[in-house]
Amino acid sequence: MTFLIIDTYYHGFLRAFCAQHADLSDRPYAEQWRILMDQCFGTADFYSINLRKLGHEAHEVVANCDPLQRRWAREHAILLWAAYPLYCQLGRVKAWQMDVLKAQVEKFKPDVVYVQDLNWMDAALLRAIKRTGRLVVGQTAYALRCDSEVKACEANTFASPSSGAFWNCWGPRHPGMESRSLAGTPAITRTGPSFSSTWLAGSLLHSGGMGQTACSRVQ
């Protein structure tokens, strides 16, 4: 089975990442992608790594990373690559991103399309992907817009207490973290009542004060 994981990254992170890698746009897509995944931002390539261990084919695309997507277009969809300046002049960068994403779905021919950010995803494209017979799965760990195309998803995964009652089944266990994300991180040492380093895995939620309560109990 083939999986395509559609992800988006925070604009602030992408700006900082591109500033640190000024020659990024000159590198091949595979090399750019590898450098970006090695930042271990968000879920990085943790899905595809572990899906491949289970015998599946899988790939992540960061749909709003323009240098990366432009390089993919240059290598696989030259007309879209050439049209990028025109889209920018018309203020339609998001439309260009969706067109490239559509081309990637057609190129990878996935059985399952896993959408990490339903708020960002274009509803028309999501419905078009579903009409091809592919399984569309959405991920929810954030507040959904009223017009988010949730109905186009045949399944949905949740990653926070506010997203679904499923959290109760976890009991005292902890959510998983890909071990590679811990490589090279500084050791956490305690100095008085606080830590010299702090990690937040996921998000600090406001619903019912659960996030604040959980953080206050960390010892």
In a domain, 208, yes or no: no
The pTM of this model reads 0.74
Give the pLDDT confidence of 33-91 residue by residue, as tens digits.
999 999 999 999 999 999 999 999 999 999 999 999 999 999 999 999 999 999 999 99
In a domain, 215, yes or no: no
In a domain, 36, yes or no: yes
In a domain, 192, yes or no: no
In a domain, 48, yes or no: yes
Please say if the pLDDT value at position 210 is more than 60: no
Hey, what are 30's tokens? 């595979």
In a domain, 179, yes or no: yes
In a domain, 11, yes or no: yes
Residue 177 sits in which domain range? 2-187
Please say if the pLDDT value at position 131 is more than 60: yes
In a domain, 218, yes or no: no
Our count of domains for the chain comes to 1
DSSP symbols for 21-70: -TTGGGS-HHHHHHHHHTT--TTTTHHHHHHHHTT-EEEEEETT-HHHHH
Q: Residue 79: how many CA atoms within 13 Å on its side-chain side?
A: 2
